[in-house]
């Protein structure tokens, strides 16, 4: 039994049930759907069930009364004036003995509620109750317990739970509430550090919450890391769970977008022009080097000439010789000797001394082929000529007899039996030169002079490799 506050209950549209003699009706059926009826459990001199042992005269008054030394009586407290916001919202506060009532402002109030004098004593009930307090007779004239809680003839505060007892009832605080003064007040469980991360107090209970990236453990209090990677984290490529969060990463060749989730291809080719010797091709997550026709990739970035004559990719006939050069090949006639020259070996043509037409001609022509790349730095030694037979006292002179109209080459004599063909200017292919390199052999008496020619074909490739 807690407090003596007045009680207002809203119930369906019916009149109050019969009352025990100790109870006094204060209200009757009110018009409209709203039926209000109220009971003041404690009247002057009438004790509540739990207070029944208290002495008749005392200087300590029950709740709702205060001791008046002048009159030597307990005097009703006007809670409507002393309790701030005694009634919430639209309810109006009606003071009464030992308590107060909250009624809708529209409700009609029986004038008894306002009377200053004590209400008529409970004993004035017309039908004396033969049963003990808290019991009432049923049809069989036996005493049955009155459920004060369901009949709303209790004085539990709205914050309290009413529990019916045999012959009595009890007002208790719900779970999660404790009594402070007359009222049940929510316990702030969050003050007791029940939660690992965050605590949210709720009326009558509490709830633990976890920081983002964590979830409540099985005990509903501790927080455990969420593996976002298993929960559909929006990483486009790779996801790494970490304590409380996750990180997106990208595969090699991709970089993480500013949004932290998506990956975009890295254009490696834009980084450097030296990644590939010829052409860099960006691909998703990687790049590759390409080579021009006639070349193959060496390792990853270099281009190497394909020797079509070696690989058999050429289409030269039996009567032809395959000549490889940078980026391609050439089929040349095996016999390139032109009258009056006659072929004496694969590359060598001789002008027979017996033939009068050969008197002013080089006695032999030897065919040779070579290949250089474009844009070589100059001067560059490209070919060395060597006299094959050395005669005592003989002297050899070398010169470019034909094919050097633009002066792209010159001859540097090394000694009297050899010389070097030198590229004088940077040349760009594809192009080819046919140079006649002449070696003139004389003896010291100048009584002997012989000329032979090395017909050198120089292929200049299209590239610098
Ligand atoms: C945790 O909370 C859930 C949902 O409220 C409940 O079903 C479960 O019994 C609680 N577990 C514990 C250990 O309190
Ligand atoms: C040419 O060189 C050879 C060998 O080095 C030598 O025997 C000969 O005397 C040289 N001739 C002249 C004219 O220098």
> In the prediction, which pLDDT does 5 show?
37
Per-residue pLDDT band at 341 (split at 50, 70, 90): very high
Ligand 1 proximal residues by C-beta, below 6 Å = 218-220
Residues constituting the chain: 465
Integer angstrom CA distances of residue 237 from 80, 251, 385: 69, 7, 63
Q: Is the pLDDT of residue 109 over 80?
A: no
The span from the CA of 428 to the CA of 214, in Å, is: 68
- Mean per-residue pLDDT for 332-349? 93
89 versus 7: the higher-pLDDT residue is: 89
Count the neighbouring beta carbons within 10 Å of the beta carbon of residue 86: 20
170 versus 100: the higher-pLDDT residue is: 170
Give the distance (Å) from ligand 1 centre to CA of residue 221. 10
Count the neighbouring beta carbons within 10 Å of the beta carbon of residue 199: 19
Contact in structure between 306 and 294 (CB atoms under 8 Å): yes
Contact in structure between 193 and 46 (CB atoms under 8 Å): no
Q: Is the pLDDT of residue 379 over 60?
A: yes
Q: Is the pLDDT of residue 397 over 50?
A: yes
> In the prediction, which pLDDT does 46 show?
37
Q: Is the pLDDT of residue 26 over 70?
A: no
Q: Is the pLDDT of residue 117 over 50?
A: no
- Mean per-residue pLDDT for 317-330? 95
Q: Is the pLDDT of residue 402 over 90?
A: yes
Per-residue pLDDT band at 72 (split at 50, 70, 90): low
Q: What percent of the chain has pLDDT over 90?
A: 59
Angle at 339 between CA 333 and CA 341, to 5 degrees: 80
What is the DSSP code string of 83-143? STTSS-TTEEEEEETTEEEEEETT----GGGG-SSPPPPGGG-SS---SPTTEEE-TTS-E
For the CA of 215, the nearest ligand: 1
Q: Is 416 in the pocket of ligand 2 (CB under 6 A)?
A: yes
Torsion angle defined by CA atoms of residues 77, 82, 88 and 93, in that order, rounded to the nearest 10 degrees? 40
> In the prediction, which pLDDT does 67 show?
67
Average pLDDT taken over every residue of the chain = 81
The span from the CA of 321 to the CA of 314, in Å, is: 10
> In the prediction, which pLDDT does 14 show?
35
18 versus 292: the higher-pLDDT residue is: 292
> In the prediction, which pLDDT does 324 show?
97
32 versus 422: the higher-pLDDT residue is: 422
Contact in structure between 311 and 295 (CB atoms under 8 Å): no
- Mean per-residue pLDDT for 321-326? 96
Q: Is the pLDDT of residue 414 over 50?
A: yes
- Mean per-residue pLDDT for 428-442? 95
Which residue has the CA at smallest separation from atom 12 of ligand 1? 219
Provide φ and ψ at 229, rounded to 5°.
-65, -30
Q: Which of 383, 444, 436, 435 is nearest to 416 (CA)?
A: 444
The span from the CA of 360 to the CA of 148, in Å, is: 149
Provide φ and ψ at 48, rounded to 5°.
-75, 170
426 versus 38: the higher-pLDDT residue is: 426
Task: Give the number of the atom of ligand 1 that is nearest the alpha carbon of residue 218.
Answer: 13
Q: Is 50 exposed, middle or buried (0-12, 13-18, 19+ CB in 10 A)?
A: middle
3-state secondary structure 306-352: CCHHHHCCCCCCCCEEEEEECCEEEEEECCCCCCCCEECCCCEEECC
Q: What percent of the chain has pLDDT over 70?
A: 77
> In the prediction, which pLDDT does 296 show?
96
Q: Is 444 in the pocket of ligand 2 (CB under 6 A)?
A: yes
> In the prediction, which pLDDT does 141 show?
82
Per-residue pLDDT band at 309 (split at 50, 70, 90): very high
Which residue has the CA at smallest separation from atom 9 of ligand 2? 393
DSSP 47: P
Residue to mutate, 220, 221, 222, ligand 1, most ligand atoms under 8 Å from C-beta: 220
Per-residue pLDDT band at 447 (split at 50, 70, 90): confident
The span from the CA of 4 to the CA of 96, in Å, is: 11
Give the distance (Å) from ligand 1 centre to CA of residue 218. 7
Q: Which residues of 346-408 form beta strands (DSSP E)? A: 348-350, 364-372, 380-386, 394-402
Angle at 66 between CA 62 and CA 71, to 5 degrees: 120
Give the distance (Å) from ligand 2 centre to CA of residue 440. 14
Ramachandran region of residue 196, left (φ > 0), alpha (ψ -120 to 50) or beta? alpha
Each residue's pLDDT tens digit, 262-301: 999 999 999 999 999 999 999 999 999 999 999 999 988 9
Any idea which of 55-59, 91-95, 175-179 has the lowest mean pLDDT? 55-59
The span from the CA of 307 to the CA of 330, in Å, is: 11
Parallel/antiparallel/unpaired status of strands 364-372 and 449-460: parallel
The span from the CA of 298 to the CA of 276, in Å, is: 11
pTM for the structure as a whole? 0.54
> In the prediction, which pLDDT does 287 show?
95
| Cross-strand partners of 214 | 225
Torsion angle defined by CA atoms of residues 141, 142, 143 and 145, in that order, rounded to the nearest 10 degrees? -110
Cis status, amide bond into 280, omega within 30 of 0 = no
What radius of gyration, in Å, describes the C-alpha atoms of the chain?
Answer: 60
Each residue's pLDDT tens digit, 201-219: 999 999 999 999 999 999 9
Q: Which residues of 133-196 form beta strands (DSSP E)? A: 135-137, 143-145, 161-165, 168-172, 177-180, 183-186
Q: Is the pLDDT of residue 125 over 50?
A: no
Integer angstrom CA distances of residue 441 from 436, 447, 452: 16, 11, 8
- Mean per-residue pLDDT for 161-169? 92
> In the prediction, which pLDDT does 445 show?
74
């Amino acid at each position: 039994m807690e407090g003596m506050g007045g009680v207002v209950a809203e119930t369906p549209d019916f009149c109050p049930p019969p009352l025990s003699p100790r109870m006094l009706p204060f209200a009757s059926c009110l018009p409209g759907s709203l039926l209000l009826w109220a009971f003041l459990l404690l009247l002057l001199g009438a004790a509540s069930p739990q207070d029944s042992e208290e002495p008749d005269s005392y200087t300590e008054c029950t709740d709702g009364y205060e001791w008046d030394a002048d009159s030597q009586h307990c005097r009703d407290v006007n809670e409507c004036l002393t309790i701030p916001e005694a009634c919430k919202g639209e309810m109006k506060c009606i003071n009464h003995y030992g308590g107060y009532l909250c009624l809708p402002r529209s409700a009609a109030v029986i004038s008894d509620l306002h009377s200053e004098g004590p209400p008529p004593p409970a004993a004035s009930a017309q039908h004396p109750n033969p049963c003990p307090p808290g019991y009432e007779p049923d049809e069989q004239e036996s005493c049955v317990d009155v459920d004060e809680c369901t009949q709303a003839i209790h004085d539990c505060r709205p914050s309290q739970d009413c529990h019916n007892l045999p012959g009595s009832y009890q007002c208790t605080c719900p779970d999660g509430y404790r009594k402070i003064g007359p009222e049940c007040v929510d316990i702030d469980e969050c003050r007791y550090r029940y939660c690992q991360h965050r605590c949210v107090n709720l009326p009558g209970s509490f709830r633990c919450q976890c920081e983002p990236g964590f979830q409540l453990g099985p005990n509903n209090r501790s927080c455990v890391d969420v593996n976002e990677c298993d929960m559909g984290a929006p990483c486009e490529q790779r996801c790494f769970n970490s304590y409380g969060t996750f990180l997106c990463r990208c595969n090699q060749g991709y970089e993480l977008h500013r949004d932290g989730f998506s990956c975009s291809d890295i254009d490696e080719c834009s980084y450097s022009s030296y990644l590939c010797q010829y052409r860099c091709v960006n691909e998703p997550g990687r790049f590759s080097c390409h080579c021009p026709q006639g070349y193959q990739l060496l390792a990853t970035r270099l281009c190497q000439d394909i020797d079509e004559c070696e690989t058999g990719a050429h289409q030269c006939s039996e009567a032809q010789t395959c000549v490889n050069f940078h980026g391609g090949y050439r089929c040349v006639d095996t016999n390139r000797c032109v009258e009056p020259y006659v072929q004496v070996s694969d590359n060598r043509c001789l002008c027979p001394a017996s033939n009068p037409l050969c008197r002013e001609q080089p006695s032999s022509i030897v065919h040779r082929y070579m290949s250089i790349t474009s844009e070589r730095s100059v001067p560059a030694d490209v070919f060395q000529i060597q006299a094959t037979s050395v005669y005592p006292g003989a002297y050899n002179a070398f010169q470019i007899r034909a094919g050097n109209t633009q002066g792209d080459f010159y001859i540097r004599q090394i000694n009297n039996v050899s010389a070097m063909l030198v590229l004088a200017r940077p040349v760009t292919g594809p192009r080819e030169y046919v140079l006649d390199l002449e070696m003139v052999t004389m003896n010291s008496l100048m009584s002997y002079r012989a000329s032979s020619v090395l017909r050198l074909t120089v292929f200049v490739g299209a590239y610098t490799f």
